[in-house]
Structure 1
Amino acid sequence: MEVPAQRVGEGNVSLLLPRLCPADLRDTALLTLKFKFNPRLGIDNPVLSLAEDQDHSDPWNLQRPRFCLLSKEEEKSFGFHLQQQLGKTDHVVCRVDPGTSAQRQGLREGDRILAVNSNFVAHEDYAVVVRHIRASGPRVLLTVLAQHVHDVVHTQQGSDGFLCPTLGSGVRPRLCHVVKDEGGFGFSVTHGARGPFWLVLTAGGAAERAGVPPGARLLEVNGVCVEKFTSNQLNRKLWQSGDQVTLLVAGLDVEEQCHQLGMPLAAPLAEGWALPAKPRCLNIEKGPQGFGFLLREEKGPNGHLGQFLWDVDPGLPADKAGMKAGDRLVAVAGESVDGLGHEETVSRIREQGSCVSLVVVDPEADRFFSMVRLSPLLFLENAEVAASPPAVDAVEPSGLEDSRQCFLYPGPGGGYGFRLCCVASGPCLFISQVTPGGSAARAGLQIGDAVLEVNGYPVGEASDLDRLQQLPEAEPPLCLKLAARNPQGLEAWISSVSGEAWTLASELL
C-alpha cells in the first residue's frame, strides 16, 4: 500500500484556534518565530519535545548501557561532574546537579561513561574524555553504564567494550543543507496528522543532490526537532526557511540500526552533507613581527561571549594562513575554548610557543552552527586535523622504549600544573599530582610517571633536589623525559606508597 505524500508548500492552510501553551515552552520560544494572528495562516503553538519520555526509576533501564542526550543551558554546563580515578581509566560521574539537563536525562552518580557521541572512550585518558565532551558544543550524547553493572562486568569479563553499542562505519544521521531550485526543495513529506515524518524525494532534485537518502526520516529542521509537529506546523516551519533549509535526517539503515541498539537518532552523531559553511584550521608560525592579529572578547551572533580575531595585519603569518577579521576562535591545538575567559584563552595560545594551530569560523559559519545547535568541531574535516602540526607541548616519542618527552609552558598562574614527589624505593622522582586542564595534563603527564630527565639533565639522586627546586624560575619550555608504568604496575606501586595522601580531581561539565 502506497503512503500518501503531500508536497511542501501545496494546499491551503486551515484556520486553527489558538492552543493554550504549557508553562514551559522555553525551547520552542527560542527556536521558532513569533506570529501575530493571521486568518489565512492561523495560530499553532506546538509543544516541542526533544527526547522520548523515560522512566529512569525502572531498574531494567540500569542493567544495560543507557543513552543520555544532554543539552547545555545558556552559558551554563550540562550539570554533572566527571571524576578522574587514580590509576584507572574509568570515567565516573561523581555528582549530578539538581534541575539540570543531566538530571532530567537520567544521568546518575556513579555512572561510568563508555562513549561520547560516536567515540568509544572507556579506555581513553581522562583529559581526552573531557576534550570530547567540550568539543561537542551545546549538545552531547553520552553512553553510560550503572556502577554496579560496570563492576560485575569487569569482574566477569575484564572489559566493558563489548557492552558499548556503536553504529556501523558510515552509518550516521545526516545534516543536509538543501537549496531550493526551480523544482523547489525536491522532496515531499509523508502525510499524517502528526509526526514522525518521512521524506519522498524527487529524482535528481535539490534534496537528493544535498545528500538526503531516499525514504529518510525527518528529525530536525534548522536545529528544531519536528518529530512531534503536526503537518501544519511542519509546513509552516519549512515555509519560514525561505530558499534554503538544513535538515537532520536518518536513512532507513540508520533508523533500523539505532532501533536495534536502543540508541536515539541524536544530532551530535550526524555527519555533514553539502553544508553551507565549515570550520577552518589555521596553522600559524610566528614571524619577526609576531603572529599579526588581535584577540578580543565580545558577543557573537547568538548573544554569547566569545573570542574574536581582529586587526589581521596584511602580509603577516595570520593573514597568510587564511585568518579573516571577524573570525571567532573555536579551538586552540584541537581543544575547544568554548566557555573560557579572555585571559585563559590568551594563555592557551601562548603555551603553544612559536607555532600555533587554531580552529576558527567566519560570521556566516558561526550563525549556521549556532542555528543547528551543534559545535563546528564536530564537522572539522579529518584532512584538516591530520594536517595540523603537533602542539609544542604534545607528547613526542623518544628513541627509548617506554619513555617519552614532554614540553610544557607555564599556565595563567605561572605554574605547570603538576607536582613531584620522591620515594626511597624505585625511581626516586615521580609525578604525584596533575591538575586537570593544565599544561601538564594537556602534555599527557600521568600520576605515577617516573621522571628520567629534566631539561636534558638525568635525575634520580637525592642530590638533584636542589636543582629541581629552581625549575619555577627556569626559562620555559620545561622539557621532561618520562617513563610510564603499565596499569598493573601502577596499581602495585600505588599500594607500596599508600602512605601518600592522594586526592582525586573532578571537573564540572
Structure 2
Amino acid sequence: LLCPVDLQDTDSLTLKFKFNPKLGIDNPVLSLAEDHDPYDPWSLARPRFCLLSKEEGKSFGFHLQQELGRAGHVVCRVDPGTSAQRQGLREGDRILAVNNDVVEHEDYAVVVRRIRASSPRVLLTVLARHAHDVARAQLGEDAHLCPTLGPGVRPRLCHIVKDEGGFGFSVTHGNQGPFWLVLSTGGAAERAGVPPGARLLEVNGVSVEKFTHNQLTRKLWQSGQQVTLLVAGPEVEEQCRQLGLPLAAPLAEGWALPTKPRCLHLEKGPQGFGFLLREEKGLDGRPGQFLWEVDPGLPAKKAGMQAGDRLVAVAGESVEGLGHEETVSRIQAQGSCVSLTVVDPEADRFFSMVRLSPLLFLENTEAPASPQGSSSASLVETEDPSLEDTSVPSVPLGSRQCFLYPGPGGSYGFRLSCVASGPRLFISQVTPGGSAARAGLQVGDVILEVNGYLVGGQNDLERLQQLPEAEPPLCLKLAARSLRGLEAWIPPGAAEDWALASDLL
C-alpha cells in the first residue's frame, strides 16, 4: 500500500518544488512510484492512497473535520491500533477523493456521507498539509490535485454462474499470484463481463494476490456452482500503474451481479407509510434495522418494500451502526416523503460475502440530498426587526438553553456560520434526526453562549476548536431568529461557514 509509515519533519520541504500540471504524472505531486521509500519525506509531498477496512463493531479509526474558515476536509485525529493508522493516514491529511469521487470541494456533509456509505471498505486519496498548502498557493483553489481513473475504466466485480463448460476461464499457471485469466470464447466468465486478459484480484471477497496456485484452485472449487470475482482488465491495470492507484475493490463497478440494493420512494398516505421498523440481529450477528408488517395496499408495499428487508440508508445516508431511535428520527425528519435504500436477505448475504457496501452499487450513484432544517420541536420565534432598519443588528430576545450529546458518529449534527458584525455565530445547518434536531435547534438560531462562555469576543475561534475534545453534554444558549431576519443582517457571501465538531469514521 502506498502510504508511508513514519511521519518525519517536512516543514523544510515547503518551497523546494513547483507544481506543473502540464507534466501529468511526472509532476512530483501527482506521481506515485510503487517502490518509493516510506521514510523519504518527499513521499508526503504526493497524494497517497489509503485503503481502509472497518473491523466488526469498530470504525475506520479516524476523525474528520471541516477546516475552520476555509474549504477542505481534514483528518484531525487518527486512533492508534486502527485500520487508519496501519494504512498510513495521518493527522492533518486533506481528503482529496473518496474511492474514485473527487470531494475536495464537496460539502462536508456529502464527504462524510460518501465515506460512511462505502463501509466496510473505502479508498481515500489524501495529501499532507504542507503539500496541500503549497499546491493551493501556487495553483489556486480550483486546481486539480487528485489522480482519478478515466470514465469507464474501473475494476469489475463479476458474478459467474457455472454452465456445462464450467466457469469459462482458466488461470495462468504459476507457483504464486498474481494471476491472470484466459477466457473461453462465449463462456460463462465472458458473459458475466470478465474482460480478456483480466488480472484476478479477489475471489468471493478474499484477496488472492498472494495465494499459491493450489490455494486458488481450492478456493474456486469451494465456490460451488457460482463465484464472484474482482478483476481488472489490462487498460485498468495500466492506468492504475501510471497513477499509482491500488487496484482496490471500492473502485469496482458491478457486472451481472445476482442482486442489488433497492431505492424505495414513499409518500405517506392517510394511514401512514404502512410498515414496521424493528431492530434485530442480522445474518452476521450484528444489530440491524429490519422492515416488517408491510401492509398490502399502503405506500410501502406499493413502492416495492418486502417483509424482511434490511434498511441500509435513509435519504442516501447510511444508517449502518445507528441505533433504532436514531434511525427512526432520521425517517421522521424527512416528513411525508421518504427515500429508503434496502436490501433483501439474498442481497445482504452477497454484499456481506464480498465485503463491500451495497450503496456502492446503486443504479443511481448520486445519493439524494438530506433535507435541511427539519425539526419536530415547536419553537416560538421573537419578532424580527424590519428589513429597512438593519444598520445596527440587535441580538434577538427570548433565549433558551439546549444540552446536546454527540451521536454515534461523534457529531452533534449542526453547523455554524460566522459574520463579522452583529450576532457573530448562528446555526446554518441542522442534520435531520441528529442530536441538534432532537434538542430543538433550528436554522437561524443565534449562539449567545457556549458551555457558559459568552460568544462575540476575539477568542470564539479558539474555543470552537477545543469543543470536539470537551466532555459532553454541549451546553448552548440560543436565541431564535427567522430566516427572513437572517437575510436582513447578513449580506450575501458575508457568512463564513464553520464546522463545530469532528465526525468519527
TM-score greater than 0.5 by the shorter chain: yes
Of residues 335, 340, 347, the one that matches 1:365 is: 347
SS at structure 2 position matched to 1:177: strand
CA offsets 1:68-115 (integer angstroms, 9 cap, x no match): 000001111000010122232211101111110000000001000000
Structure 1's 429 and 103: CA in aligned 2 closer, same or farther, altered over 3 A? closer
State the match for 1:431 in structure 2: 426
CA distances 1:400-428 after superposition (whole Å, capped 9, x unpaired)? xxxxxx555559999995588997946x6
Counterpart pick for 2:60 among 60, 78, 82: 78
Q: Which of 176, 188, 196 is 2:178 aligned to?
A: 196
Name structure 2 gaps, 5 residues minimum.
Answer: 1-33, 379-401, 406-411, 447-477
**Residue 58 of structure 1: how far off its partner (Å):** 3.0
Three-state SS of the structure 2 residue aligned to 1:194 is: coil
State how many pairs are aligned.
Answer: 406
Q: Does 1:380 align with 2:362?
A: yes
1:302 aligns with 2:297: no
For 1:306, what is the secondary structure of its paired residue? strand
| 1:341 CA displacement | 0.6
Q: Which residue of 2 aligns with 1:180?
A: 162
Counterpart contact for 1:115–1:121, Cα < 8 Å: yes
Change (3 A) 1:217 1:429: same
Alignment of 1:343 with 2:325, yes or no, is: yes
**Aligned-partner SS, 2:144:** helix
| 1:290 and 2:285 aligned | no
Cα pair distance change 1:479/1:192, threshold 3 Å: same
Q: Secondary structure at the match of 1:211?
A: coil
Q: Distance in 1 between matches of 2:485 and 2:316?
A: 24
Q: Is the 8 A contact 1:122 1:161 kept in 2?
A: no
1:215 aligns with 2:210: no
Q: Distance in 2 between matches of 1:116 and 1:422?
A: 28
Partner of 2:20: none
Identity between Structure 1 and Structure 2 (%): 74
Q: Helix, strand or coil: the match of 1:113?
A: strand
Q: Confirm or deny that 1:114 pairs with 2:96.
A: yes
Structure 1 residue 295, shift from structure 2 partner: 0.7
RMSD: 3.4
AA paired with 1:431? F
Aligned in 2, Cα 1:127/1:421: closer, same or farther, shift over 3 Å? closer
- When the two structures are superposed, what TM-score results if normalisation uses the length of structure 2? 0.73
1:33-182 alignment, distance < 5 Å: 56-159=38-141, 161-182=143-164
Q: Aligned equivalents of 2:344 and 2:375: distance in 1? A: 31
Alignment of 1:234-313 (within 5 A): 234-313=216-295
1:178-232 CA deviation, whole Å, 9 max, x = no partner?
0000000000000000000000000000000000000000000000000010000
Post-superposition offset of 1:162: 2.3
Cα distance in structure 1, aligned partners of 2:300 and 2:307: 10
SS in 1 for 2:110: helix
Q: Distance in 1 between matches of 2:336 and 2:419?
A: 37
CA contact (8 A) 2:200 2:209 kept: yes
Deviation of 1:60 (Å): 2.6
| 2:110 partner amino acid | V
Which amino acid in 2 is paired with 1:366? D
Partners in 2 of 1:328 and 1:308 — Cα distance?
4
Compared CA separation, residues 441 and 123, structure 1 to 2 (3 A):
farther
**Structure 1 residue 319 corresponds to structure 2 residue 301:** yes
Structure 2 contact 427–445 (Cα < 8 Å) conserved: no
1:313 is displaced (CA, Å) by 1.1
